[in-house]
Chain A
Amino acid sequence: MNQHKDLLPQRLRPLESLIQEWRWIDKGRAVMLDVKRDKLVEVARILYKEIGAFFKTCAGVDERPLWGGFAVYHIFGIDEEGLDVVIYVKIPEKDHPWVPSIVREVPAADWCELEFRDMLGIDPRGRLTQRLVLPDDWPEDVKPLRKDVPYGYRPPRAEESRPVEAGMYPSGVPVGPYHPALHEPEYFELYVEGEEVVDVRYRGFHVHRGIEKLAESPRFDYNKVTFLAERICGICGFVHSCAYVMAVERAGKVEVPERAEYIRALLLEVERLHSHLLWLGVAAHLLGYDAGFMHAWRVREKTMILAEYLTGSRKTYGMNLVGGVRKDITPEKVPKILRVLEEVAEGTKKVADMIVSVPQVRKRLEGTGVLRRGDAAALSVVGPVARASGLNRDIRKDYPYLAYKDVSFMVPVYSEGDNLSRTLVRVEEVFESVEIIKQLLDRMPPGDILNEEWDIEPGKYAVTSVEAPRGEDTHFLITGVGRPYRWRVRAPTYANIPALRPMLRGQELADAPITIASIDPCFSCTDRMLVIDVRTGKRSVLVTRPKVRVVSLG
């Protein structure tokens, strides 16, 4: 950024007359625009459609203890400038707060608007609303993220059940959405005509854990939340913990030793290795090619052991603290790391080559689950999903953080947008990660790894984005006293699930499981699908393996 400090960045000039005030936040990485409610939709439209910013997320905040009202923050990013833009809208009402909805201009804001409606009772006006995050039996008048609701609040149990609303097509027997045995409860309804999928309905958020609320509670402090953040995801937990500590460090102006930034980046890449190899294995498994699954996981196991060797734990590394990391990478460890990297690169090459050369596997990946570039951009999708649809988006390049500015690597981009492209993007990224780790090891500066002398001022902001294996993970943080005042997390799958609708429409039912898995949604959703035949209205449950599967390899 070579903009003048006192001038609104060039790209944002068209908004000058519409905003009240603006300021730099987050050590000059982001701009915050104060916008009046009646100008919000116009500002969002120009930012999204004319300036070409991507939508990241929005957050509602209960600011009544601070100045008497509520607030909504819409967070956009201009990739080419590496600049985050935060629209800040104040809502003066203490009761029945509302903001105009921007969803017509910015479709990607759909869920997060519903989320602040559920969690804070801020009504997004001018759109259809329904409950998204809160369970159906949650009391109407309790808005959990409001500051006057205690964090340990548990509503009374529901006494009666309500009938489930039928979809837009003939109804039948509602089954699910909880599955006791399989990964995570997410719920899809696929509407089919014969073998063809004509529409999809998704219902998720069954395991909302209230993590954002917990982090604001008195039993947490800045350092403890790091471990909580790591538990958001079992696969890319370190991404979340990095995004969180970086947010605290940037908002609180905490100095971080350079060596710590290198170690964090290195571990992020180790995590990407394991995640992509895990995905490759599961994809093979979903296509009925279990030999591929086992060999992919055999290679992945090396990365798990490496992670334990470097951090003390295979997953949930527990490495981050505000101000740095807890364990150094000593010179004795380097040769072993390099050896493992060689083995992983070589193993991945063989296994990936083996998997995609199986004709049955290849046929089911090629041309299926296509996400066109236009749809991908409109939905602001992230990560390998975006890159497989021709969007060259990678947070590591676009908003360089940690040590990524010091390494060179390629960002694989494919234009086909099908399941094969998404597979190839991930496979190529494995090799890039190996190269990144080697460069990091080579250039790692000596010195301290942890700065424990810090003091964080309340009321400061930061927006951090980290490229997780499944795409951009965004955290937004407002500092408080001793702990975050508000911490908003937007995991990558959140941005990618809406893209499943265009991907699945019009394709064969048998390809649905792999298509759903192709966004790498932690896989849970693949095993819970309700199939409804539009002509007969008959409902049945589809489990992981559809009837059509690759049986023999001969």
Chain B
Amino acid sequence: MVKPILKLITVAKEVGVVTRKYPYESPLLTEEFRGKIEIDASICWGCGACVKACPSNALTIRESMDVMELVYFAGRCIFCGRCADVCPTGAIRVTKEFELATDELEDLEQVVIHRKVKCPICGKHFVPQPLEKYVCEKCAKGEIPTYMMVCPECRRKVGVKKMIRCKGG
């Protein structure tokens, strides 16, 4: 009967106290830990790649007439970091933050607001401004950027018209 107890005492003595007194001590995190994400609004183009890759719908797009909002809701986030993988600008950073408990739902939300470009022909708003700016910069100067400023619908119309003109119709 004595033996098992002795074994227990030996083991317990050997290992000592292992409990970390969190939150008075630092939490047990390795350098690889993935927590909440942060979006750098100054870099983000609003391309939506992260929204498409997010498995849990934690990232969504809210659109209104002239504004496009990229909404991150940490309450749905599974901290997979896929969004950071696919983001073409590196706007998303995976942080180590995990202490997210709150009694205000808004605390879990981050919103990146992008103004949308206005189409000079029909006046409708379409792509987010930074995205347009990037595409324009990428393209050669010349005829293309004028089309770039036009919304897809008007662009189609202009294109068709031009084609017809070329064919002499």
Contact = CB atoms under 8 A, between A and B. Distances in A.
Nearest to A308: B30
Contacts of A228: 55
Interface string A298-337: 1001000100111111001010000000110000000000
A354 interface: yes
Contact of A554 (B5, B56, B79): B5
A353 B32 contact: no
Contact of B4 (A308, A311, A316, A358): A358
A353 B12 CA distance: 14
A316 B78 contact: yes
Interface string B1-26: 10111011001100100100000000
A554 B34 CA distance: 46
Given A219-B57, A350-B11, A354-B11, A312 B32 contact: yes
Contact of A318 (B5, B18, B78): B78
Residue from B7, B33, B55, B79 with most neighbouring chain A CB atoms (10 Å): B55
Contacts of B97: none
13 contacts: A223-B53, A227-B82, A228-B55, A295-B12, A295-B15, A312-B81, A313-B33, A313-B34, A313-B79, A318-B82, A354-B7, A357-B7, A553-B8
Given A309-B32, A318-B80, A224 B55 contact: yes
Contacts of A291: 8, 12
A9 to B, nearest CB: 39
B32 A298 contact: no
B166 interface: no
A135 interface: no
A351 interface: yes
A232 to B, nearest CB: 14
A359 B80 CA distance: 46
Contact of A354 (B1, B8, B30, B32): B8
Given A298-B15, A305-B28, A354 B78 contact: no
- Nearest 10 A/B pairs, CB to CB: A227-B55, A224-B55, A312-B34, A318-B80, A309-B30, A358-B4, A354-B7, A312-B32, A308-B30, A357-B4
Contacts of A223: 53, 55, 82
A354 B5 CA distance: 9
B144 interface: no
B4 A305 contact: no
A27 to B, nearest CB: 27
Nearest to A231: B78
A553 B5 contact: yes
B22 to A, nearest CB: 13
A295 B4 CA distance: 14
Contacts of B7: 350, 353-354, 357
A312 B33 contact: yes
Contacts of A224: 53, 55
A354 B33 contact: no
A308 B80 contact: no
A411 B33 CA distance: 34
Interface in B65-117: 78-82, 85
Residue from A231, A318, A326, A353 with most neighbouring chain B CB atoms (10 Å): A318
Contacts of B80: 227, 318
A407 B14 CA distance: 34
A227 B79 CA distance: 11
B4 A553 contact: yes
Classify chain A's interface size.
Answer: 20 to 34
Interface in B25-60: 28-34, 53, 55-57
Residue from B56, B78, B80 with most neighbouring chain A CB atoms (10 Å): B80
A165 to B, nearest CB: 39
Contact of A227 (B1, B11, B56): B56
Interface string A197-233: 0000000000000000000000110011011100100
Nearest to A295: B11
B8 A318 contact: no
B29 A308 contact: yes
A308 B5 contact: no
Nearest to B78: A227
A35 B11 CA distance: 60
Contacts of A310: 32
Contacts of B32: 308-312, 327
A329 B15 CA distance: 29
A263 B113 CA distance: 40
Given A295-B11, A318-B78, A305 B1 contact: no
Nearest to B14: A350
Nearest to B52: A221
Contacts of B85: 326
Nearest to A309: B30
Nearest to A355: B4
B33 A359 contact: no
A551 to B, nearest CB: 14
A318 B34 CA distance: 10
Contacts of B56: 227
B33 A308 contact: yes
Contacts of A305: 28, 30
Interface string A275-303: 00000000000000001000100100100
Nearest to B3: A357
B113 to A, nearest CB: 25
A227 B81 CA distance: 11
Contacts of B5: 553-554
A383 B15 CA distance: 32
A399 B5 CA distance: 44
A298 B18 contact: yes
Given A326-B85, A350-B11, A554 B1 contact: yes
A317 B80 CA distance: 8
